[in-house]
Amino acid sequence: MRLKDKVAIITGSGRGMGRSDAIIFAREGAKVVVCDINGDNAQAVAKEIKDAGGEAFSIKTDVTKPEEVEALVQETIKRYGQIDILVSNAGWDELRPFLHTDINFWNKILDLNLKGHMHCVKAVLPHMSKRNCGKIVTIGSDAGRLGNPMEAPYSAAKGGVIAFTKTIAREFGRFNITANCVCPGITDTPLAQEMISAIPEKEKALKMMETVKAMTPLRRIAKPEDVAYAVLYFSSDESNFVTGQTLSVSGGLVTV
């Protein structure tokens, strides 16, 4: 087991990519803290893990609120005594032309998709630094590497996540803490389906998906498990000398 007895906090793990992370981490021996803004979803995933013989507990957490993030960290320390891994995964987006956005939308996107990561990382670092070890994996996006039409605020936020992760890697490497960023492309998750279904012209939305598949060398979009295994690598001992890196998981669509 690659994560035997490791304690892993995974934000946004009530569904989608975060859920896949939680299931796979538990299978690899981790004690998983399932946290999500939707407490019922988090509870269901924790139950799924325990029913399969793994160890997990759930906690409702809004990562845009520092006090809730701190409560999450304190509860994890209380139960398990340590934090070995943080997968900062929680995120959200809505497709909008830039001129149809406003400052309230910008703030909503940036609070969750950039500052939420910063809240989580800041909360775990004192505990990891004290133990002189830790793995931090942030979930960015290829939108943050290349920019994406209809996702200007989101692209800006995810570009910030990439730069933030590199900075944490440089600043905390002396404490034997690694920080790496996984950047998915379009992934078959409930959020992606909701975003596409919200496009008024259904025919245009379907055509867009087919175009993305045709442009992708592997000729499909990612499954949540594809992303989860990249996250697993950065969370395991196999990546002990890898830090400050950004890995696209997009079937070859992005190669820079």
Kindly report the pTM of this predicted structure.
0.94
**What per-residue confidence (pLDDT) applies to 203?**
67
- pLDDT given at position 186: 83
What rounded mean pLDDT belongs to the chain?
A: 94
pLDDT for residue 65: 98
User: For 187-240, how does the pLDDT look when each residue is reduced to its tens digit (9 = 90+)?
Assistant: 877 766 666 666 666 666 667 777 888 889 998 888 999 999 999 999 999 999
| Whole-number percent of the chain with pLDDT over 70 | 93
Lowest-confidence pick of 35-44, 155-164, 202-211: 202-211
Gyration radius (Cα) of the chain, Å? 17
Which amino acid would we find at residue 247?
L
Range in 24-28, 88-92, 198-202, 244-248 the model is least confident about = 198-202
Instruction: State yes or no: is 233 an active-site residue.
Output: no
Residue 92 is given by DSSP the state -
User: Backbone dihedral region of 54: left (phi > 0), alpha (psi from -120 to 50 degrees) or beta?
Assistant: beta
Structure confidence at residue 189 (pLDDT): 75
Residue with tokens 């400050």: 244
DSSP, collapsed to helix, strand or coil, labels residue 184 as strand
Is the confidence at residue 243, as pLDDT, over 70?
yes
CA diameter of the chain: 54
223, two tokens: 């499954």
The pLDDT of residue 198 is 64
**Domains in the chain: ranges and CATH:** 7-186+223-249 (3.40.50.720)
In sequence order, what are the beta bridge partners of 183? 248
C-alpha–C-alpha distance, residues 49 and 58, integer Å? 11
Residue 215's pLDDT is: 84
More confident position, 254 or 190 = 254
Asked if 116 contacts 64 with a C-beta cutoff of 8 angstroms, the reply is yes
Mean pLDDT throughout 85-105?
96
List, for residues 167-190, the tens digit of each pLDDT value: 999 999 999 999 999 999 888 777
In 3D space, the residue among 6, 32, 18 whose CA is nearest the CA of residue 134 turns out to be 6
- The predicted pLDDT at position 255 comes to 87
Alpha-carbon dihedral sign for residues 63, 66, 67, 70: positive
Rounded to whole angstroms, the Cα distance separating 1 from 122 reads 29
C-beta separation of 11 from 85 below 8 A: no
For the beta sheet containing 134-139, the strands, ordered from the edge strand earlier in sequence to the opposite edge, are 55-60, 31-36, 7-11, 85-88, 134-139, 177-184, 246-249
Q: Which residue has the higher pLDDT, 218 or 65?
A: 65
Region 58-82: mean pLDDT is 98
* Residue among 80, 154, 229, 233 flagged as catalytic: 154
